[in-house]
């Protein structure tokens, strides 16, 4: 069931399917909720799955001014309050992962468990930090899908792509000490050939007190589509089962005294 909710200056589109506890999926930059089509059926068998489109993406119109992670965070806080009406499990990919990380820090009461896929906490985690932001190439690759559903029209893709590029130059920039403040049980996932480096995710994993780590072999930043069955299995295992008591814990070994 698709609908809209007004969150700040944005009229945010979202879809809902399935039945069960709430799970909110958040896409990355320059794509939209359709990103999760290979994952939705499996997740909706166990959860009520919400898939909002961020401002300027998908069915949600752009707004005046720059795109910022804080604006996206504010939108999702309001979404959880007004649409979900309470805490939810959340899953984000890429840019969406960082948005949920900020939501967990700013409104921990609205988050149950976190699944953060291919998203770091600072620009130091970029695998190709000097890669050019080529709007012409992005328009060829992602523009047609944008044009199919955007209320702003095909020509507005270049505006949004420029805004996202400007955002990517500035953010994210959380210090690792802030990441350590996230208390929620968290699954960190990335591809073995991702745009976020493995050492960065390992640093994030080491800092978060209640994190688990999964590396999906033989995949890239498109891992949710390249190996959806494996990604879905890992996500469902995390969200539907309690942690197992491990035989030889090191990181999770009980602290004496």
CATH number for the domain harbouring residue 222? 3.40.50.1820
pLDDT at 1: 86
Q: Which of 44, 40, 37 is nearest to 20 (CA)?
A: 44
Report how many domains make up the chain. Answer: 1
Tell me if 189 is assigned to some domain.
yes
Number of other residues whose CB lies within 10 A of the CB of residue 240? 11
Predicted model pTM: 0.97
User: Tens digits of per-residue pLDDT, 172-229?
Assistant: 999 999 999 999 999 999 999 999 999 999 999 999 999 999 999 999 999 999 999 9
d(CA 66, CA 84): 27
As a whole-number percent, the residues of the chain with pLDDT over 90 amount to 95
Dig out the tokens for 31 from the structure.
Answer: 């794509």
37-44 and 228-240 helices cross at what angle (nearest 10)? 40
Dig out the tokens for 8 from the structure.
Answer: 């700040």
Tell me if 117 is assigned to some domain.
yes
Dig out the tokens for 138 from the structure.
Answer: 């992005």
Average of per-residue pLDDT values in the chain? 96
pLDDT at 257: 59
User: Tens digits of per-residue pLDDT, 29-70?
Assistant: 999 999 999 999 999 999 999 999 999 999 999 999 999 999
Tell me if 256 is assigned to some domain.
no
Q: Which of 177, 195, 180, 5 is nearest to 95 (CA)?
A: 195
Q: What average pLDDT score do residues 228-250 get?
A: 96
Tell me if 146 is assigned to some domain.
yes
Tell me if 248 is assigned to some domain.
no
d(CA 70, CA 49): 23
């Amino acid at each position: 069931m698709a609908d809209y909710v007004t969150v700040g200056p944005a009229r945010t589109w979202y879809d809902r399917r399935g039945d069960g506890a709430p799970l909110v999926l958040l896409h990355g930059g320059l794509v939209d909720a359709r990103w999760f089509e290979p994952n939705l059926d499996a997740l909706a068998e166990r959860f009520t799955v919400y898939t909002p489109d961020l401002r300027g993406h998908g069915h949600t119109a752009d707004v005046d001014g720059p795109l910022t992670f804080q604006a996206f965070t504010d939108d999702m806080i309001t979404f959880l309050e007004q649409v979900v009406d309470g805490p939810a499990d959340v899953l984000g990919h890429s840019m969406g992962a960082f948005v949920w990380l900020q939501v967990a820090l700013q409104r921990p009461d609205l988050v149950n468990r976190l699944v953060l896929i291919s998203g770091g906490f600072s620009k130091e985690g970029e695998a190709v930090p000097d890669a050019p932001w080529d709007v012409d190439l992005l328009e060829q690759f992602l523009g047609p899908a944008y044009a199919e559903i955007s209320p702003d029209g095909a020509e507005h893709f270049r505006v949004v792509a420029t805004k996202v590029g400007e955002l990517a130059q500035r953010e994210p920039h959380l210090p690792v000490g802030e990441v350590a403040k996230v208390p929620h049980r968290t699954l960190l996932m990335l591809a073995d050939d991702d745009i976020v480096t493995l050492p960065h995710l390992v640093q994030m994993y080491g800092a978060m007190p209640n994190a688990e780590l999964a590396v999906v072999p033989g995949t890239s930043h498109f891992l949710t589509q390249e190996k959806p069955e494996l990604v879905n299995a890992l996500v469902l295992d995390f969200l539907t089962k309690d942690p197992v008591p491990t035989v030889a814990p090191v990181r999770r070994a009980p602290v004496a005294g």
